Amino acid sequence: MPTQDRLINRELGILEFNRRVLAQAEDLTTPLLERLRFLCITSSNMDEFFEVRVSGLKEQIEIAPGQRGPDGLTPRQVYAMITETAHQIVARQYEVLNREVLPALAAEGIRFFRRTHWTDEQAEWIRNFFFSDLMPVLTPIGLDPSHPFPNVLNKSLNFAVELSGKDAFGRNSSHAVVQAPRVLPRVIQLPPEIAGCDYGFVFLSSILHAHVGELFSGMEVLGCYQFRVTRNSELFVDDEENKNLREQLAGELPQRHFGNAVRLEVADNCSAEMRNFLLQQFHLNEKDLYQVRGPVNLVRLMNVPDVVERPDLKFPPFSAALPSQLLKQPDLFKAAVKGDILLHHPYQSFQPVMDFLHQASVDTQVLAIKLTVYRTGTESELMQHLIAAAQNGKEVTAVVELRARFDEEANINWAERLEKAGAHVVYGVVGYKTHAKLALVVRRENGKIRRYAHLGTGNYHPRTARLYTDFGLITSNPALCEDVNEVFTQLTGLGRAKTHHHLWQAPFTLHPHIMAAIQGEAERARKGEKAHIIAKMNALLEPRVINALYEASQAGVHIDLIVRGVCALRPGIAGLSDNIRVRSLLGRFLEHHRVFYFRNGGAEDVYLASADWMDRNFFRRIETGFPVLDPKLKRRVINESLKASLKDNVKAWEMQSDGSYRRRARRGKPFEAQTFLLQALSN
C-alpha cells in the first residue's frame, strides 16, 4: 500500500471529531440545555479550526502549493475537501438549532424572540434598552472616500447596512458598517413579566436590526445584515531574532485580531450584492462564505445554560471526592510519604493539588517550589499560592510557557506578577514549548532534604479540572522526584540531558521509548507470546509511531487505541492493521488524559503523559511520560481509564478504515464509562 494511503489527513480528522461533538447536540438522551451547550462547543471548535488549521493551509497554498503532506494530498486538495465538509457541519448545526433545540426549549419556557414576533410590550422594552444601553456605545461608519472599510476585529459581530438618500453633509453613500463593541452582551435576557415566560432572550443582532435606522437619521435603510470574519490567529515569533520573548509576544498579541481573513459568516437574509461586497473587502472567495440561518456566532449562547436555573435540563450535579489517603491524612506531605496519591479528575477533586501548593507556600520547612505553567486562567488561586510562597521567602521558580495558544496574555500577566513578588520566572527553551505538567517542592525534614512532586496529564487550571478527564500523581518517590528536578534544571539552566530513572522526556527519550515499547510487544508476538497495547490520547499523527503500530499489528499484537480527536492511522485494513481497533469517546467531560499500556510479558507497564503521539509533542515540545509504580494505583488506571473506555457502548465511536466513525453497536447492558466513574469515584 502506498505511504499516503496509510494515513488519514489531519484536517479531515479534526472535522470528523467536530461531527462527533455535534452528534452530542443531536442526541436526544443529552439533557436539553447541554444539547445547546454542545452546539456552542462545536461552533467554538470550528472557530479555532479556521483560525489555526485553515489559515495555515492557506499559507501553504501561497508558499508551496505543490508540496504533498504525509497523506499524499496537496494543500489545494485538502482545502477543497475540508471546505465541503465544513459547510456540511455548519449547515447541520443550524438545522439542529432551529428545528430541534430552540423549539424544545420554547416548550420548556425558555424562548428566543425573533423581532418579527415581539409583542407591543416587548418591542417597547427593547426600544428603551436600545436607546439607554446600546446606542450610546455604537459608532456607525459610512463608507466613502474619506471613510474606507474599517479594520474589523477577528470574530467580532458587525452589521453591513445598505442605505439610500443623502446625509447631513450631502454625501450619498450606499454602504455603512456598524461594529458591535465587545462590551455589549450578545444575548439580552428580558424580564419574565415582559417575556411572558420564565426565561426570555433576544439577540443583540435582532435589536440592532430593528433600530439601525436610528443611527442614520434621514436616510432609508434598505438592508441590514450581520456578518463576522474569522482571521488567522497564529502569532509570529522569530526564535532566531528573538531577544526578549515576553516583549515580542506582547507586541504581537494586538495583531492577532487583524490577521488575514479566512472565513466570512453572514446571515441568510444577506443580499447577493452585499455578500460579494464583503468577500471583496476581505479578499475571500465563495468557498470561504458561510451563510447561516440564525446568529452568525453560536458561541454567544454559551452562557445561556448557566443563566437558566433548570437542573432538570442539565447534567446532574456531582461533588468531586477525595482519595481515601487524604480523608485519613489531610497533610499532603505526611500522606505522600506513606505512598503515592493518584487523582482522577474531575471525578476526584483538584483541591489536593491546590492544597499541595498552599501547604508548601506557608510551611516553614519548605525551601523551594518549582512549577510549569501552560494554562492556568486569568484568575488562579494556584498562582496566588506561588506569589504568596515567594513573598514568604521561598525560592519559587515558575517555568511559564508564553506561547500557549490563546492564553499568551494571561501567562504574560502572571509572569510579571510572579517576578514582582520575587519569584524566578523563565520561559523554557527557545524553539520548544514547555507542555509538561510538573510541580516540585523541596522540604527540609529532620536535617535532610526530601522532595515531593506532582506530575499530571492536564493543566494547572481548576476550571478545566472540572471539565476534562485527567490524572495527577503526588509522590515522594526519591528517584521520580530526582527526575522531575533534573527536568527543571534543564529548563532553567544549561547542560546536557541526563538519563532519567523513570521519566520519558520529549524531545529526548519519549519517542524512542514509545517506539521501543511498541517494537517489544511485536517481538513477543512473533515468539508466540501474548502481546497487547492500549493507548489513550487526544491525537495520533506521528508517522513513525503509526508505522510501528502497523508492523506490530502484522506481528500479531492486539492493539486498542482510544483517540478522542484526530487519528491518522487507518484501522482494520487486511494485511496492515487487522489487529488494530480505534475508538473515540465523547460525553459530558472532555477525555483528555494520555495513558499508555504495554503488556510487557505480564509486567503491565503503565505510563501517564502530558503528550499526545504527534510530531510536535515528540520533537518540538518539552513533555514527560511517567510510570505508575504502585501496583494498586496501576490497576486503578487500567480499570478506570482503559477498561472502562473499551467497555463503553453508549458514548463510544468506532473508527472505520476510511476515517469515518460509527457509533459502537450496543450489545448487552448499556455501559457508559463517565457515568460509571461518577458513581464509583465522586460523592
- Rg, C-alpha atoms of the chain: 27
For residue 65, what are the contacts with CB-CB under 8 A and spacing of at least 6?
Answer: 74, 75, 76
Residue 566, domain member (yes or no) = yes
Cell of 287: 468557498
Q: Are 418 and 396 in contact (CB under 8 A)?
A: yes
Give residue-wise pLDDT tens across range 121-168.
999 999 999 999 999 999 888 887 556 788 888 999 999 999 887 665
For residue 170, what are the contacts with CB-CB under 8 A and spacing of at least 6?
Answer: none
In terms of Cα–Cα distance, which of 374, 384, 357, 445 is closest to 621? 374
- Per 3-state DSSP, the chain is made up of helix, strand and coil in percentages (nearest 5) of 45, 25, 35
Report whether pLDDT(44) > 90.
yes
**456 and 476 belong to one structural domain:** yes
> Phi then psi for 315, rounded to 5 degrees?
-60, 145
Burial class (CB in 10 A: 0-12, 13-18, 19+), 254: exposed
Report whether pLDDT(170) > 80.
no
Residue 319, domain member (yes or no) = no
pLDDT of residue 405: 56
Q: What is the pTM of this model?
A: 0.92
Q: For the chain, how many structural domains are there in total? A: 3
| 272 CB-side CA count, 13 A | 0
Query: What average pLDDT does range 42-49 have in this prediction?
Result: 95
**128 and 202 belong to one structural domain:** yes
> Phi then psi for 29, rounded to 5 degrees?
-80, -10
Highest mean pLDDT among 68-72, 217-221, 486-490: 486-490
Give residue-wise pLDDT tens across range 358-415.
999 999 999 999 999 877 766 778 888 999 999 999 999 988 877 645 556 766 777 7
**278 and 339 belong to one structural domain:** no
**624 and 667 belong to one structural domain:** yes
Question: What does the mean pLDDT of the chain come to?
Answer: 91
Query: What average pLDDT does range 464-491 have in this prediction?
Result: 96
**285 and 342 belong to one structural domain:** no
Q: Which residues pair with 158 in a beta bridge?
A: 179, 227
Residue 117 annotated among the catalytic residues of the structure? no
The CATH number of the domain holding residue 105 is: 3.30.1840.10
- Name the domain boundary from 313, 336, 361: 313
Q: Are 434 and 459 in contact (CB under 8 A)?
A: no
**300 and 365 belong to one structural domain:** no
SS3 210: helix
pLDDT of residue 475: 98
Would you tell me how many other CB atoms lie within 10 Å of the CB of residue 194? Answer: 18
**33 and 168 belong to one structural domain:** yes
DSSP letter (8 states) at residue 376: -
Cell of 91: 449547515
pLDDT-based confidence at residue 64 (cuts at 50, 70, 90): confident
Residue 318, domain member (yes or no) = no
Which amino acid is present at 197? Answer: C
DSSP letter (8 states) at residue 52: I
In terms of Cα–Cα distance, which of 94, 104, 507, 472 is closest to 267? 94
**289 and 333 belong to one structural domain:** no
Could you tell me the residue range of the domain that residue 332 belongs to?
324-499
**488 and 534 belong to one structural domain:** no
More confident residue, 405 or 63: 63
For residue 512, what are the contacts with CB-CB under 8 A and spacing of at least 6?
Answer: none
Would you tell me how many other CB atoms lie within 10 Å of the CB of residue 483? Answer: 23
Burial class (CB in 10 A: 0-12, 13-18, 19+), 67: exposed
The CATH number of the domain holding residue 332 is: 3.30.870.10
Residue 67, domain member (yes or no) = yes
**106 and 217 belong to one structural domain:** yes
Burial class (CB in 10 A: 0-12, 13-18, 19+), 1: exposed
DSSP letters along 92-133, please? HHHHHIIIIIHHHHHHTTEEE--GGG--HHHHHHHHHHIIII
Residue 636, domain member (yes or no) = yes
Active site residue: 435, 461, 500, 593, which one? 435
SS3 514: helix
Report whether pLDDT(24) > 90.
yes
**54 and 198 belong to one structural domain:** yes
Residue 53, domain member (yes or no) = yes
Report whether pLDDT(489) > 90.
yes
Residue 494, domain member (yes or no) = yes
Would you tell me how many other CB atoms lie within 10 Å of the CB of residue 192? Answer: 12
CA 167, CA 647: separation in Å to the nearest integer? 69
CA 356, CA 331: separation in Å to the nearest integer? 9
> Phi then psi for 72, rounded to 5 degrees?
85, 5
More confident residue, 376 or 620: 620
> Phi then psi for 222, rounded to 5 degrees?
-90, -25
For residue 178, what are the contacts with CB-CB under 8 A and spacing of at least 6?
Answer: 138, 139, 140, 141, 158, 159, 161, 208, 212, 215
- Name the domain boundary from 483, 499, 515: 499
**511 and 461 belong to one structural domain:** no
Q: Are 533 and 604 in contact (CB under 8 A)?
A: no
SS3 675: helix
**Percentage of residues in the chain with pLDDT exceeding 70?**
93
In terms of Cα–Cα distance, which of 187, 263, 175, 264 is closest to 224? 175
Q: Are 608 and 455 in contact (CB under 8 A)?
A: yes
Give residue-wise pLDDT tens across range 298-323.
999 999 999 999 999 999 999 999 99
pLDDT of residue 172: 62
Q: Which residues pair with 514 in a beta bridge?
A: none
Residue 473, domain member (yes or no) = yes
pLDDT of residue 146: 58
Q: In what order do the strands lie in the sheet with 199-203?
A: 110-112, 199-203, 187-190
Q: Which residues pair with 159 in a beta bridge?
A: 178, 226
pLDDT of residue 4: 57
- Name the domain boundary from 499, 527, 545: 499
Report whether pLDDT(612) > 50.
yes
Distance of CA 55 to the CA centre of its chain: 18
